[in-house]
Amino acid sequence: MKNSIRWAVGCVLILYTSEALARVKLVALPERARVVVALGNPSATLVEEERLITLQKGVNKVDFSWRGVNIDPTSIQVRALTHPKDVIILNTSYPPNENALIWEIASGGAQEERVRISYLLSGFNRDIVYKAVAEPDERSLTLRNYLRLRNDSGEDLTEAEVNIGYGAAFKKTIAHEEVLEMLSERIEGVAIRKILTWDAATLPWDPEYEKKTVGIPLSYIVTNNTAAKLGQHTLLPGKVRIFIKTKEQPAAAGEQAGEGVTFTGEDWATLTPVDREMKLYIGQSRDVKVTQRKTKDDKTNIRRNNGNNVVLHDTDEIYKIEIENFKKTPVDLVLVEHIPGYWRMAENSHTQQFRRKDAFTFEYHLTLPANTSGEKKTVVTFNINRLNVQGNEPTTY
Amino acid sequence: MRKLFPSLFVASAFAALAAHARINVVTLPGRDTVQLTVYNSADLTLVKETRVLTFRKGLNRLEFSWANTLIDPTSVEFRALTHADDVDVLDISFPPRVTNTLEWRINSEFAGEVQVEIRYFTSGISWSADYVLEAQRTEKLAAVAGYVRINNNSGEDYENAQVRLVVGVIHLVDEIAKLAAMGRPGQLPVPPQASAMPAEAKLELAKSVRLLERSAAVTGQAQVVKEELSEYFLYTVGARDTIPNGWSKRLPSLSTNDVPLTSYYKYEKERWGDAVVRYYRFKNDKASRLGNEPLPDGQVNAFRFVTDDLLYSFVGRSSVKYIPIDEQVELELGHDSEVLVKPILVNWTKTDLQFDQHGDVKGWTIRETWEIEVQNSKEIDVIVDVRRNFSGDWRLTTRAEYENVDATKIKFVLPLKPREKQKFTYELTTRCGTNATR
């Protein structure tokens, strides 16, 4: 038998047999006047449906039952919309071993009433899928936001108003076991920043000793604000596939070259509220080479205990980072350095580009000019002194 | 299905025969009234029913049986409500080889109809509270509706019953369900040496309930009358109702609008990691249009109106603890990524080193500079409560306002406007080893 939600208005006769309760129902079945599916809460799908029921003056019984539909029975509630002051929900009865309930509704007159029932429905899920096409200069992209609805709830939802928590609701019909994907938003000219991130804690310092070319992680940063043509709502988590515009080869010599796209990578977007950044890791760059070396590593102010063991010292450390950009375009690169414990910067070649992130981490935000390899390479040096080192200094917090 | 049968012997015929072979001629008086007093802290319901029996002068024998129910045989009591001075219970017999049956031997000086009350405990009936909270779009006001749901799995249909619900925690030395399963009074367990509550507490409670019954004036349909009773609170459902075995019934118990609401967010790394946890806060007091009664513990479904025609968005589900009058209610609604609290340790130093006679470090002092970023990406006003825990000999200096929660915990409470970002800093000095002075 088909899965269904049924409303029954009329008299519900309750008959008792010797061991089990049987209910004989004489019912009218009101049609759905409206269905609204709210998907704003990522952990729960709320359905609100409206039906026109005819009430007699006095106490009426309204039966609501469902079969094969994943309704959370503790979430069901009903509201009278037409005459909220004159139509009162007196109580709710729950028969044993049935997916059903019966409302006793008092009505001040014989009248038609629009009622709205709300319940949480499981098995109706939504995914967000983003597709982004970056301009060739990688400074902006067109973002398309797709909503993918999966209905495994057991119920066919016809002409349902779907509300995803932002923007206008839209009407869709989604049958049980149907997957429906639709474009919910298309935004052109979304500003992005493309950055490479070289982290001293995770990447090899000297590429010469590596068998393969070291790839430096490449990310797009999207800020969810109005300056980036976003900032209207929280960006929900989902998979982002990123393409870049390319010129197609002309089909024949002398013909106009068409426009195409090439897939450059994908990542999971995390939930990004307004005014916060989304960082999408899309691949690696192998056209930028970073070589970091420690050119000085001295212990100073050494203090020993009576057993001649070192119990405390300072350090004098110099680091040199050589960066080559083999690309024909400038590149933004972030160098991430980690220094545990108590330290002071003694000398720094790039104070303008220096950013202290926290007590044990700092970064250089560099823009590498195009074609700066070999003699033209960028060289960053810094000299730090670690103080009162005992060997148990914190590296994180 | 009705399973309780009080049977009045028309004559004391054949009673002297072996009990398992008794042939009885009985009348079956119907119940006139039934009242259920249901507890939520224990599987216990006090059932009080009245019936009219016709006694003859002299000895009357009344059999009461309760097959397939969950009645505690040690709790069954009988008393005459009319002609009470003329009707005496001589003794109660639990016949051999018969379970779920007792027999009262009653001497009556009066011949005719007598209204009697039969009272007993049963298990299998429970009740729970639940609430629906509807927040306005700004989340500054809310409508709060409370409900009580009664579940009858006692094996007995209680028709046209008055239902009373007790909010409170009572002590029992035996589970009613276990006593019911025995079918007849069994051997009493040895009482513990130091009982948390005397056994007669149960009787005392029943007595106070009885006292209250006399004063409870119950009128009006779908009304729940609430009264204070010792350390308990008694809800009486106004309308009489039938709750057949296996059925549940949910009734409205309170409803109020325009309850002032605060969207309150808490951050405490030690409890929730990096997540910020969202709460709805309101007070169970008169100023908040509540405060007429304590709120029993129960589940809350919280919604927010999102359109002019009052469509809902589902905010979350939570459970509330028992809330006394004037107490603050906090509904935990889960993590909310739209409010960010990000503590950053921006500087760390270790200084003031002291050495012992062996030349080893014996004392040092850690100074930390913390910057806390708080960001509200929501479109509503929020309050953010940031808690920080410290240990050892710590001192704090900051320009930000804070409150000491206890010796090792402080809290900063910041109101934030929609889309507002704030930062505050503090310096924490921790003296370690021999540098510590406390």
At A216-256, the pLDDT tens digits run: 999 999 999 999 999 999 999 999 999 999 877 777 777 77
pLDDT at B208: 37
Residues B364/B393, Cβ–Cβ less than 8 Å: no
Q: Does B252 contact A at CB distance below 8 Å?
A: yes
CB–CB of A93 and B248 under 8 A?
A: yes
DSSP-assigned beta bridge partners for residue A212: none
Q: Are strands B409-416 and B312-320 parallel, antiparallel or unpaired?
A: unpaired
Question: Positive or negative, the Cα torsion across A251, A257, A260, A263?
Answer: positive
Name the token pair of B121: 């405990």
- How far apart are the C-alpha atoms of B102 and B93, rounded to whole Å? 6
Residues B50/B31, Cβ–Cβ less than 8 Å: yes
Question: Which of A43, A91, A234 lies nearest to residue B250, judging by beta carbons?
Answer: A91
- How far apart are the C-alpha atoms of B49 and B164, rounded to whole Å? 14
Q: Which residue has the higher pLDDT, B405 or A7?
A: B405
Q: For residue B364, give the nearest of B314, B272, B432, B316 by alpha carbon.
A: B432
Q: How confident is the model at residue B193 (pLDDT cuts 50, 70, 90)?
A: low
Q: Which residue has the higher pLDDT, B9 or A140?
A: A140
- State how far residue B349 is from chain A, nearest Cα, in angstroms: 5
At B359-370, the pLDDT tens digits run: 999 999 999 999
Q: For residue A64, give the nearest of A101, A113, A114, A22 by alpha carbon.
A: A101
- State how far residue A34 is from chain B, nearest Cα, in angstroms: 12
- State how far residue B182 is from chain A, nearest Cα, in angstroms: 23
Q: How confident is the model at residue B178 (pLDDT cuts 50, 70, 90)?
A: confident
At A34-43, the pLDDT tens digits run: 999 999 888 8
- How far apart are the C-alpha atoms of A171 and A364, rounded to whole Å? 50
CB–CB of A312 and B361 under 8 A?
A: yes
Say what the pTM is.
0.81
Q: Does B308 contact A at CB distance below 8 Å?
A: no
Q: How many CB pairs under 8 A join A and B?
A: 145
Question: Which of B1, B334, B337 lies nearest to residue A271, judging by beta carbons?
Answer: B337
pLDDT at A24: 56
pLDDT beyond 90 at A260: no
Amino acid identity of A222?
V
Q: Is A112 exposed, middle or buried (0-12, 13-18, 19+ CB in 10 A)?
A: exposed
Lowest mean per-residue pLDDT among A327-331, B25-29, B391-395: B25-29
pLDDT at B5: 65
